Amino acid sequence: MGTDRHLPEKALALPFPYVEVNPEDAKRLGLKSGDLVEVYNEEGNGIFLVYVTDAVKPGSLFLVMYHWRGTSNSLVSGYTDPKTTIPWYKGRSCKELCVGVCV
C-alpha cells in the first residue's frame, strides 16, 4: 500500500477505520452507517466506523487493513503456519459488535 494513508487530508476524510456490515446484520444490531462500534474477540479489539453495505455476506464483517488509528490487525491471531510462515490473517471470528459510545 502507498504512504498516502499518512496524509492529513486522508485522516480528516476518514477519521476512524471502518467496518463493512451487511444490511441484515445492521438491522438486527440496530446499526446505521456512521455509527461507531467496538469489534472484539479474544485477541484484541478496535473502534470502527460502520459502513452498511451488501458487499459482505450476512454474518460476516470486512475490516479495513490500513488506518492510522488502528486496524483489523489488533484482532488477528498470533498463529503462523509452520510450513509457509504466513500469519492467519483472514480466519478470525469476532463476537457481536458492542454498540454505543466506544471512544
Structural domain harbouring 39: 3-99
Assigned C-alpha cell, 40: 472484539
Amino acid identity for residue 10 in this structure: K
CB 46 within 8 A of CB 103: no
Please state the domain count of the chain.
Answer: 1
pLDDT per residue as tens digits for the range 6-65 = 666 666 667 778 889 999 999 998 999 999 988 877 777 788 889 999 999 998 888 876
Over residues 53-97, the pLDDT tens digits come to: 999 999 888 887 666 666 666 777 778 889 998 877 766 666 655
In the 8-state DSSP scheme, what is residue 100? S
The reported pTM is: 0.71
